Amino acid sequence: MSRSTKVGRRSEQVRRARERRRRVDRRLRRAWWAIAAGPALVVLLVLVKLAIPEGTVAPVAAGPLPDDVAAALQVDPSTLDAVGRGSGVTPPTPITGQPPLTAGDKPLVIYFGADYCPFCAAQRWALVIALNRFGSFTGLRTAFSSSEDVFPSTATMSFHGSTYESDFLAFEGVELAGSEKVNGRYPTLDTPTPAQQAVLSTYDAPPYVPAQSAGAVPFIDFGNLALMSGASFSPGLLKGMTQQQIADAIRDDPDGTVGQAILGAANAFTAAICRVTGNQPASVCSTAAATAYQQEVGG
């Protein structure tokens, strides 16, 4: 056998030995990852948790508003009477001389907001409580404001996909955008009808709101009799709270800071709605809660 043939065979043997070693190494690496996957996953979850800023709620998947939270938004009238004006509340502003805003044969209240908006997140708590005194919602779902905005991940509910029934008024909740960006932008949720857009363009603009606030949300039109631009209280009061914790504060601690703000704002909205309904029903509109802000809203 020639020297060159022997060298060639030795080279082939070395190559095959190296390949066998590489296969063994790959199997060992796969086995190691299988063993380490559990602890590694735990470490990853810990790192994710630590990456959430203190005081920020980690949003849960959107779904129906929990029954216990929905029940807390049906506030006992005596509690609302006791809270009265609450504290830290900015009420709606009355307007005059405008054509009545209606839907069918009922006066209309329109809310414009967006799921990403923390000020909208705060506003919905009080608005739902007030509207629950005149009718009932179906289809409210859990929601959080954007994690990238001020007051990140403020816990709330969304009007998107919900319906409202009342013998006394109509309500339209328009959520213009979602809370999680897609390709760098918040996706559209509800597209305003021409009538809704006309309300937004006319009244969410000077002279009804300051020029720097034109087109901003949240914005509420109470039958063209009163307007609410911006939040009635600071979303900062809800920092780090879950829906359940906010519901507990409303139900169990109406004298606390959160309870006073949300329930006081609900009373201000109730006063504005009573103006829209012609003070009907009397069982609501003659109460201390409904009259607490009567002068401010033009009642």
Provide CB contacts within 8 A for 153, sequence distance 6+: 56, 57, 58, 59, 144, 145, 146, 147
The answer to whether residue 135 scores a pLDDT higher than 50 is yes
The pTM for the full model equals 0.81
| Same domain, residue pair 185 and 278 | yes
Are residues 37 and 79 located together in one domain of the fold? Answer: no
Range of the domain at 20: 1-51
- Would 96 be classed as within a structural domain? yes
Is residue 227 within 8 Å of residue 98, measured between CB atoms? no
Shared-domain flag, residues 198 and 118: yes
Residue at 76 is within a domain: yes
Note whether 121 and 259 are same-domain residues. Answer: yes
Confidence class for position 115, pLDDT limits 50, 70, 90 = very high
Confidence of residue 18 (pLDDT cuts 50, 70, 90): low
Is 232 within 8 Å of 123 (Cβ atoms)? yes
From CA 145, how far away is CA 177, in angstroms rounded?
A: 11
Q: Is residue 56 part of a domain?
A: no
pLDDT at 37: 41
Residue 112 to residues 175, 191, 211, 221, 237, Cα–Cα distance (Å): 6, 11, 18, 9, 22
Q: Which tens digits make up the pLDDT trace of 234-293? A: 999 999 999 999 999 999 999 999 999 999 999 999 999 999 999 999 999 999 999 999
User: What residues does 64 pair with on adjacent strands?
Assistant: 141
Burial class (CB in 10 A: 0-12, 13-18, 19+), 39: exposed
Please indicate, yes or no, if residue 61 is contained in any of the structural domains.
Answer: no
Spatial separation of the C-alpha atoms in residues 162 and 220, rounded to whole Å: 17
In a domain, 270, yes or no: yes
User: Does residue 297 sit within a domain?
Assistant: no
Q: Which residue has the higher pLDDT, 8 or 70?
A: 70
Q: According to the model, what pLDDT value does residue 220 have?
A: 98
Verify that 37 and 181 share a domain, yes or no. Answer: no
Centre a 10 Å sphere on the Cβ of residue 161 and count the other Cβ atoms it contains. 14
| Terminal-residue alpha carbon distance, the chain | 113
Say whether both 34 and 79 belong to one domain. no
Same domain for 135 and 264? yes
128 plus 30 within the same structural domain: no
Indicate whether 16 and 113 sit together in one domain: no
Examine residue 232 and state whether it is found in any structural domain, yes or no.
yes
Amino acid at 156: T
- Secondary structure E strands in the chain: 93-94, 102-103, 106-113, 135-138, 141-144, 155-158, 163-166, 170-175, 219-222, 226-229
- Residue pLDDT, tens place only, 182-239: 999 999 999 999 999 999 999 999 999 999 999 999 999 999 999 999 999 999 999 9
- Residue 135's Cβ-count burial label (10 Å; 0-12, 13-18, 19+) is middle
Give how many domains the chain has, as a whole number. 2
Separation of alpha carbons 266 and 160, rounded Å: 20
Q: 84 and 47, same structural domain?
A: no
Q: Residue written as tokens 């780090």? A: 240
Residues 125 and 243 in one domain: yes
**From CA 147, how far away is CA 52, in angstroms rounded?**
10
Same domain, 115 and 238: yes
Q: Is residue 58 part of a domain?
A: no
- pLDDT tens by residue, 33-90: 343 444 433 332 233 333 334 444 545 556 899 999 999 999 999 999 999 999 999 9
